[in-house]
Amino acid sequence: MIRKLEKLLGEKGSMMVEALAMLGLISMVTPVLYKKAAERTTELQDINAASQMRTLSKAMDDMIKDHYSDLGNKDNNETLIEFENGEASFGTTDLDIKQYLPAGFNLEQNKLFDDYQMRIIRNVAATDIPGSDDVHISLTGLVVAPALENNQGNNFNTRAAKIASMIGANGGVTKDDNINGVQGIWQLKAGDYGLDGLPNNSVAATSLHAINADSGVGAEDVLYRVDKDGDKKYNTMSTTLFLGNNDMREVHRIIADSSKDNKLIIGAVNAQNDDPDTIYNDDELTEANLLVKGIANVSQKFSVGEDGENAILFAGLDGTNPFAQFRTDPATYLRLTGNQKIETKTDGEINMNAGGKTTIDAKGIDITSDSQDLNIKTIGGGANGYIRLDSNRNIVSKSLGTTSFTAWADNDKLELGSMGISATTKNGGITLATNEVDNKEKAKQGQILLNAESLINLDSEDIMELHANNEVNITSGTDIMLSSGSAITIDGPDTYINANGYLHLTHDGKNGGEIRLLYESDHNSHVTLDENMVEMGSGDQKIQVNGADRFVRFAGTGSSSSGAVGVHDGYAFMKTGTDNDRDGGATIYLSGDENRGHAYIKAGNNKALVAVEQPSSDGGQVTLRSHEYGINMSSYVDNTIKSSLQLHSDATLKGDDIILDGDGEIRNIAPVTKFYESGSDVPVSNNSVLNNGIVINHKGMIALPMATGTKKTELAATNGKQDIAGYIKADRLLSNVEYKYPLLQSGDYTKPTSGNGGYDAYQVNPAYTSVMHDIKLTTRGGARLSDILPDFINKGIYVIDNTYREDSQSWEGYTVNTSGEVSGHGGECATNDHNCITTPWLGFVPAPQCPPGYVKVIAINPIRWKMADAYSIAIEPTEGDVSQKFRNYFIQHTNPTDARFELEETDGSSGSHTHEVAQGMPLTFQTNTWLNTTISGYYENNTAKTGTFYGWHAIMGFLYHGSEYLDYLQKVNPTGSYEGKIIWNIFPVYNEELAAVTNVYCYFERRTMDGNNNATGWEWDSDLVDNSYDQIQHFRAGYNSKPSDYVDRLNDPALGYTEPW
Amino acid sequence: MYIWVVLATFLAILASYTLSPREDIRKLTVEPLAEVFIAKMVTQHEAALAYVKYMKKANHPLPAKALEENEIKNFFPAGHSFSNDFIARIYCMDENRAITQGSSCGGSDGKRALVTYSPIPLRWLNTHVDPERPNVDFLNAMKNTINSGVMFGYMAPVDDTSSEKNISGSHVAIVDRDNSENYLYKAIADDGEFRKMCDVTEEGKICLVYQSNL
């Protein structure tokens, strides 16, 4: 029980604690609740304020767009329109923004801001485009809500910015007279727009989009319904107009403009897929319907293209007329006008029935009838009932059938043009006939009269016949020309062709055409060509005598003036005399014209023989003689004119001087060609050569080409290896110049006595033997000359000594001229002047003159020097020249007695005493111990490797390390730099103390050289030397075991011989 | 027990204040920030367009080039100014829709277009999708800023280029405020200058594009 009471006691205490806690919690949370409630109220106020600004800004924009025509008028000069209580007056427009606000919008109900102020800003863009008088005007609306006085502090600026942000991108807030757009997107200076003194934290909204002529109402992109200031562009569509399946009603007129092909196209296309920029061609609108209604205007139904593919003019509405009709009233007429073409197409007939005359006036008329006759006729006769073909040019009939002009009645006439008649037929004929018998000038019945003042041209591609039962006279005042592609036949009892000018009988030679003069065989008549003058053509024309064994005889008064040309007994002949035999007769001359004409005797085929023969029994001869241009023999070989003179065996070409003169080659293709001295006998053996045979080839050469495709070793040995192609066999090859070098024995150089040595067998022009690949010497065991020639050729030996005075100039600055004279040195000492101090430069050694392929080499060897002199060092002298100072400073002992030390006692009685050097010096110094000789190459102008190489400076002297003799050197010349250098001749070297001998060589450079004559490597150039022989590696092996190609090395591999001999 | 009820009531009231007072609070507070970016670009494009039309009216040649500040600064609304963040470029194409150059272009068979473009700031991009696309706030801001009927929107890749509307066969679409696809001319999408800043194949180069045919 007690425990239960205690529990209750505890519960009562807890309730009190809970009540206290709740009270505390309420006291803490309540302010938060109030704060949150206040923030919510504030936020809602902000949102509402922003919404009001957006509404006002939109209303402002709408108002500006509606009044843009006035506001955007360029003639208005105002740049700012101010509003009072939402109203403003501008130009002819009263602006009231309240008309654009939502119903119930109260401009004065704003809890956070003062009364709204509004502005319209006109921004006129200056134009700088030449020739443009237009200006660009953009309008911007501005709505400002000034902050109330208690909201102008800093505690409100964040809230004002938040409100502006909620307006959107066109929202803004003011600070320090500036209206700043959200996040700085725009900025206006309030004072510029009549808003001076605008408090901070005011909220503004501006037009987000510039309102101008191109951005909305008033833009030229909009089609105006009314006349806009007389400017057509506002009423002009600049693209295809789509009406969206709506009708176009109450149209007054539709007028096509010439800017688009001058066409009015009415059709239907698929508007859904249509590109409005496309202008369709007519044929692309074939499926379109054009429906014109209105019986009062078209009187009958008028429809295009509703039935099938073709446009059809429909029959009358009531079906009374089975045709479509264009009809005019009696006072007017129908005109079809087309710039390009007026075309009528029908599957049936086209009938043109005119009450008056039908005139077709065109630049050209084609009347074509397919498979039917084309009839042009007059009906009814009368004076004007004829058909007249009247043309300023030709009237041409190209009918495949007959072209017939027929006059039926007696008085009818057929007139063909006065300027000329050209009748051309192919497979038909031309018939001209008349019955007008009374007029002599007109052709009568049965006659054909061709009468012209100028040319009558009867031209036929086939046979043309002039056929008469009586005479045929062709008479002309000038020429008569009968021209035919085929035969021309004039056949009559008597045929006269009488011309005052030329009578031309011509044919073109086609199809074997010919001109024939025939005689009537039954009466044995003949054709007579006037004996006074008969001319026959030349050139390709020919005179032909038909039949076997016929001839043309030239009948003269006797045998000497008669002759014949013809065929008889199988010969064609031309001979003089009165008989027809081929033999006999007198002289026959074949001569050309007087200048350079030719007379040809020509055989018919390859086997034909043209012979000029004189029977041997008569002992005569055939002479071909020409006085000026020689005798020309030529034949055609492979369509090329080639001269060929073929003679029988053992033929002799004999003359005083026989000259073979050709512009090209003179070839001798005979197996053996022999030249003999005149009168000598012909040798029996082909291989024998007469001593007297001489060949003189003046200023030329003998070329013996090697046989191609064969190797000499494959020839039979019996032929003799020296008898194959490529050899010149001769006792001697004699130079064409006099051989003056007296190697031969005295006497006749050209015929030395045999056995007098190796030089009497041949003489070879040395200029050409020098380019031989190599020469093998029998006297040296077959050694090749290239093998035994020395690589070094000594070109000179010079002995040089030091005779030039020491000078401050280095030999590197000396110059050498082309005569080998050196300038820049100090000059030579006097002879035997042993006190003359000399330079290490001993002189200049000229380069040897070497043949190509050899390099210039020098070797220098010292042969005399004076070195390792020992000196005693005296007190350093202060006076005298260098030589004197040196001799006073360095005392050379030449007398051994004087060179030893001797001590002299000067005070030695007792105690300390002093010894003095009575003779000699306590120290010795040895100079001139490091002898050196060297050379320095010299090029032209003393420029290394850019000019001609002249030779070498020879240098000889003693070397010293500068660092070792530094003290002495600095005393001699304190300003010099000697550390780490090699110094020549620190201590004097006197005249002629040194001497050297130099040898200059030409050294055959076996290595490959580059463009600067520098060796490219240590490998020998195989083009220059036999690099298979290595004098180092083959030091002994070459003697004991010759390489397998040893024989080839001795031989010339290029010639292909199997052994050297 | 009573105290807990009271305590819960207070807590619920407190929690309620964390909720937005209006459902369209993002429209009122966030989207305006996106509108600023969009509006700046639209303003610059419209200024460039006004300049181009003004020059056309005067028959003055218009070369293919990026328009500069001194050319279009007078065509901005009052208070607005030129920004180098946006490129307004005139493109000229021949009859084959290939880009041409020259002092004046866009002949009778050619096309001429004014294109303003700028990469969308990462703040407004949803980078968790591939390809990247603007977030809902930005898309709503597009609706708030510009009317429909213009070729203005963000770039998106096109997989199927065979659409009839895609005349040039472009692989880049301009998705406008109504989520309908228009197509950037292929020659422009492939243009090297354009791709320096805008390229649908690269991350962070999704652009806002405004294309107007001239």
Q: What is the pLDDT of residues A156-215, one digit of tens each?
A: 888 888 888 888 788 899 988 889 888 888 888 888 888 888 888 899 998 877 676 555
Of residues A489 and A113, more confidence is placed in: A113
* Shortest Cα–Cα distance, B29 to chain A (Å): 5
Burial class (CB in 10 A: 0-12, 13-18, 19+), A845: buried
Q: Which of A175, A179, A185, A192 is nearest to A208 (CA)?
A: A185
Q: Which of A88-97, A259-268, A852-861 has the lowest mean pLDDT?
A: A259-268
- In DSSP notation, B71-131 reads HHGGGSPTTB---TTSEEEEEEE-TTS-EE-SSS---SS-EEEEEEEEEPPGGGEETTSSS
Minimal Cβ distance to A22: which of B3, B38, B60: B3
- Out of A387-396, A674-683, A829-838, A1036-1045, the most confident range is A829-838
pLDDT of residue A159: 86
Distance CA A995, CA A933 (A): 10
Please list, residue by residue across A228-266, b when 16 or more beta carbons sit within 10 angstroms of its beta carbon and e when fewer do: beeeeebeeeeeeeeeeeeeeeeeeeeeeeeeeeeeebe
Q: Are residues A820 and A762 in the same domain?
A: no
* Shortest Cα–Cα distance, A215 to chain B (Å): 8
Kindly report, residue by residue over A949-960, the tens digit of the pLDDT: 899 999 999 999
Burial class (CB in 10 A: 0-12, 13-18, 19+), A802: buried
Q: Which of A742-751, A886-895, A1033-1042 has the lowest mean pLDDT?
A: A742-751
Q: Which of A660, A731, A673 is nearest to A704 (CA)?
A: A673
Q: Which of A227-241, A515-529, A758-772 has the lowest mean pLDDT?
A: A758-772
Strands A480-482 and A503-505, by their bridges, are parallel
pLDDT of residue A540: 52
Find residue B55's DSSP bridge partners: none
* Shortest Cα–Cα distance, B170 to chain A (Å): 19
Residue A533 lies in a domain: no
Residue A845 lies in a domain: yes
Q: Are A288 and A311 in contact (CB under 8 A)?
A: no
Distance CA A965, CA A974 (A): 12
Q: Is pLDDT at A761 greater than 70 in this prediction?
A: no
Q: Are residues A41 and A184 in the same domain?
A: yes
* Mean pLDDT on A446-468: 61
Pick from A134, A209, A222, A270 the residue to mutate for testing the B interface (most B CBs within 10 Å): A209
Question: pLDDT-derived band of residue A291, with 50, 70 and 90 as boundaries?
Answer: very low
Contacts of B159 (CB under 8 A, 6+ apart): none
* Shortest Cα–Cα distance, B10 to chain A (Å): 7
Strands A635-637 and A473-476, by their bridges, are unpaired
Q: Which residues of B touch A80 (CB under 8 A)?
A: none
Minimal Cβ distance to A214: which of B3, B6, B49: B49
Q: Are residues A80 and A167 in the same domain?
A: yes
pLDDT of residue A778: 62
Kindly report, residue by residue over B141-175, the tens digit of the pLDDT: 888 787 777 788 999 988 888 877 777 888 898 98
Q: Are residues A840 and A739 in the same domain?
A: no
Of residues A522 and A160, more confidence is placed in: A160
**Which residue from A minimizes the CA distance to B13?**
A33
Q: Are residues A61 and A197 in the same domain?
A: yes
Q: How many CA atoms lie within 13 A of A545 on its CB side?
A: 12
Kindly report, residue by residue over A534-563, the tens digit of the pLDDT: 555 544 545 666 667 777 777 778 777 788
Pick from A11, A170, A211 the residue to mutate for testing the B interface (most B CBs within 10 Å): A170
Q: Which residues of B touch A185 (CB under 8 A)?
A: 36, 39-40, 43, 80
CB contact under 8 A, A25 and B10: yes
* Mean pLDDT on A630-654: 68
Q: Taking phi first (over 0 means left), then psi (-120 to 50 degrees means alpha), and beta for anything else, what does residue A1013 get?
A: left
Q: Which residues of A touch B21 (CB under 8 A)?
A: 40, 43-44, 47
CB contact under 8 A, A136 and B35: no
- Out of A97-101, A378-382, A814-818, B146-150, the most confident range is A814-818
Q: How many structural domains compose chain A?
A: 6
Q: Which residues of B touch A16 (CB under 8 A)?
A: none
Q: Is pLDDT at A26 greater than 70 in this prediction?
A: yes
Phi, psi for residue A1008 in degrees, rounded to 5: -75, 135
Name the token pair of B11. 């807590």
Q: Is pLDDT at A377 greater than 50 in this prediction?
A: yes
Range of the domain at A193: 32-212
pLDDT of residue A615: 53
Average pLDDT score, chain A:
69
Minimal Cβ distance to B57: which of A134, A142, A170: A134
pLDDT of residue A835: 86
CB contact under 8 A, B58 and A33: no
Pick from A127, A138, A233 the residue to mutate for testing the B interface (most B CBs within 10 Å): A138
Q: How far is CA A1004 from CA A623, A850, A1024, A1032, in A?
A: 68, 9, 10, 17
Residue A598 lies in a domain: no
Q: Is pLDDT at A770 greater than 80 in this prediction?
A: no
CB contact under 8 A, A43 and B33: no
CB contact under 8 A, B32 and A167: yes
CB contact under 8 A, A188 and B145: no
Residue owning tokens 């040809």: A600
Q: Is pLDDT at A693 greater than 60 in this prediction?
A: no
Question: pLDDT-derived band of residue A302, with 50, 70 and 90 as boundaries?
Answer: very low
- Out of A130-134, A467-471, A645-649, A790-794, the most confident range is A790-794
pLDDT of residue A799: 96
Minimal Cβ distance to B28: which of A121, A166, A209: A166
CB contact under 8 A, B58 and A138: no
pLDDT of residue A915: 67
Cis peptide before B131 (omega within 30 of 0): yes
Of residues A822 and A342, more confidence is placed in: A822
Q: Which residues of A touch B2 (CB under 8 A)?
A: 18, 22
* Mean pLDDT on A135-147: 84
Please report, as a single letter, which amino acid is at residue B202: E
Chain B residues within 8 Å of chain A (Cβ atoms): 2-3, 6-7, 10, 13-14, 17, 21-22, 28-29, 32-33, 35-36, 38-40, 42-43, 46-47, 49-50, 53-55, 57-60, 74-81, 144-145
Last residue of a domain, one of A332, A356, A381: A332
Looking at chain A, the number of H-run helices and the number of E-run strands are 10, 39
Q: How many structural domains compose chain B?
A: 1
**Which residue from A minimizes the CA distance to B21?**
A40
Minimal Cβ distance to B79: which of A47, A183, A187: A187
Distance CA A782, CA A775 (A): 9
Q: Is pLDDT at A305 greater than 50 in this prediction?
A: no
Residue owning tokens 């075991």: A1041
pLDDT of residue A712: 42
Name the token pair of A158. 């964040």
Q: Which of A724-738, A807-821, B72-86 has the lowest mean pLDDT?
A: A724-738
Phi, psi for residue A26 in degrees, rounded to 5: -65, -40
CB contact under 8 A, A25 and B14: no
Residue A374 lies in a domain: no
Q: How far is CA A261 from CA A255, A257, B46, in A?
A: 13, 8, 36
Q: Which of A5-14, A733-742, A1021-1030, B103-112 has the lowest mean pLDDT?
A: A733-742
CB contact under 8 A, A170 and B39: yes
Residue B114 lies in a domain: yes
Minimal Cβ distance to B46: which of A121, A209, A220: A209
Distance CA A165, CA B21 (A): 17
**H or E stretch at B4:** helix B2-17
Q: Is pLDDT at A832 greater than 60 in this prediction?
A: yes
Q: Are residues A38 and A157 in the same domain?
A: yes
Distance CA A705, CA A703 (A): 6
Residue B9 lies in a domain: no
Kindly report, residue by residue over A960-1017, the tens digit of the pLDDT: 999 988 888 887 778 888 888 999 998 889 999 999 999 999 998 878 777 777 778 7
Q: Taking phi first (over 0 means left), then psi (-120 to 50 degrees means alpha), and beta for anything else, what does residue A653 get?
A: beta
Of residues A132 and A373, more confidence is placed in: A373
CB contact under 8 A, B144 and A136: no
Residue A809 lies in a domain: yes
CB count in 10 Å sphere of residue B54: 23
Residue B2 lies in a domain: no
Q: Are A498 and A475 in contact (CB under 8 A)?
A: yes
Range of the domain at B150: 25-213
Find residue B87's DSSP bridge partners: B117
Minimal Cβ distance to A21: which of B3, B50, B80: B3
Share of chain A above pLDDT 70, in %: 51
Quote the DSSP letter at residue A475.
E
Q: Are residues A79 and A203 in the same domain?
A: yes
**Which residue from A minimizes the CA distance to B81?**
A186
**Which residue from B minimizes the CA distance to A37?**
B17
CB contact under 8 A, B43 and A208: yes
Question: pLDDT-derived band of residue A307, with 50, 70 and 90 as boundaries?
Answer: very low
Residue A11 lies in a domain: no
Last residue of a domain, one of A535, A567, A582: A582
pLDDT of residue A918: 66
Q: Is pLDDT at B41 greater than 50 in this prediction?
A: yes
Q: Is pLDDT at A830 greater than 90 in this prediction?
A: yes
pLDDT of residue A177: 85
Residue A463 lies in a domain: yes
Q: How far is CA A616 from CA A613, A619, A620, in A?
A: 9, 5, 7
Residue B11 lies in a domain: no
Q: How far is CA A854 from the centre of its chain?
A: 47
Q: Are residues A172 and A291 in the same domain?
A: no
Q: Is pLDDT at A442 greater than 80 in this prediction?
A: no
Burial class (CB in 10 A: 0-12, 13-18, 19+), B113: buried
Minimal Cβ distance to A182: which of B17, B36, B75: B36
Last residue of a domain, one of A332, A350, A376: A332
